[in-house]
Amino acid sequence: MGERLDVLATALNSVHAQQGVELDIVVVGNGWQPTGLPDWVRTVYQPTNLGIPGGRNVGAKEARGDYLFFYDDDATLPRTDTLARMVAEMDQDPRNAVIGPRGQDPTGKPTPRRWIPRLNVKNGGKAGPATWFLEGIHLSRRIAFEQVGGWPDDFFFGHEGIDLAWRLIDAGWLIQYVPSIVVNHPATPDNRHPRYLAYTARNRVWVARRNLPAPLVPIYLADWAAITVLRGRRNPQDLKVWFNGFRDGLRQPAGPRRPISWRTVAELTRLGRPPVL
């Protein structure tokens, strides 16, 4: 959005320094005309802010290559072989759709739990197949990403990775969590984004309505409503905003409904995250 050009410059220099890979670097200006960037960067101008998933979809269509590296503008790569290592991991199995690294704050702040795709986050979590991934910094296989339709544009912000991950797993692809590959991102709270509570509540409902078998939809939504009440019981205003977003998710169109199979439900459960939590 052009609001932090200093950190964007650092992010671009970090990815440009990668060795062992051929790069096509694309910056999407979400409601901002990108200017003043190096000549090795290609830019796309979007007059309207499309939101996070919408902007990523624009970049994915523009970028060339077999793999798509989605990269937040305030991220950095601590080693010059980070991308080459991620590609090597991807090539280990043709079923791999996503290589999810371990995110760390560069200043040493604790890693947010939401960055680790495990219920047990001790020591950064166990490596192997996972049910979600660090959305802002990861490597995707283009054919898998395109097969399932990419990011859900209408989500704008929040839970778009869960929606994409479930569709990938349902299509037979694997999401690999590789904590030995570390990437850096500031450990900032999600609620820095405007309308965080409303969007995350709405999108929880949309994830369920779009993807879950009908009997699981009310269970998933009831579980998350209960969890939210328990977490936010001391802040009635936050609860009000969340439940307004929840109501919007029930009333507004959620996009195409393509429920995952019961086999996928079993696989998500086997991987440690049954789709009712």
User: Is residue 272 assigned to a domain?
Assistant: no
**Amino acid code (one letter) for 149:** G
Q: Which domain holds residue 141?
A: 5-188
Higher pLDDT, 27 or 235: 27
Based on the domain organization, do 69 and 154 belong to the same domain? yes
Percentage with pLDDT > 90 across the chain: 88
Residue 275 structure tokens = 């789709």
**Cα 252 to Cα 9, 191, 209, distances in angstroms:** 38, 23, 11
Angstrom distances, CA of residue 217 to CA of 20, 144, 160, 224? 45, 26, 17, 11
Residues 31, 47, single domain; the answer is: yes
Nearest CA-CA partner of 245 in 181, 170, 194, 210? 194
Residues 153 and 89 in one domain: yes
| C-beta separation of 245 from 199 below 8 A | yes
Q: Which of 73, 69, 72 is nearest to 21 (CA)?
A: 69
Instruction: With H, G, I as helix, E, B as strand and everything else as coil, classify residue 65.
Output: coil
Shared domain for 199 and 87, answered yes or no, is no
Which backbone phi and psi does 211 adopt, to 5 degrees?
-120, -25
- Are 136 and 91 part of one and the same domain? yes
Same domain, 170 and 150: yes
Tokens encoding 98: 């996503």
State pLDDT tens for residues 99-133. Answer: 999 999 999 999 999 999 998 999 999 999 999 99
Confidence grade of residue 193 (pLDDT, cut at 50, 70, 90): low
Structural domain count of the chain: 2
Q: CA 172, 173, 179, 182: dihedral to nearest 10 degrees?
A: -160
Task: Establish if 184 belongs to a structural domain.
Answer: yes
Per-residue pLDDT for 192 more than 70?
A: no
Of the three residues 170, 188, 206, the one that is the final residue of a domain is: 188
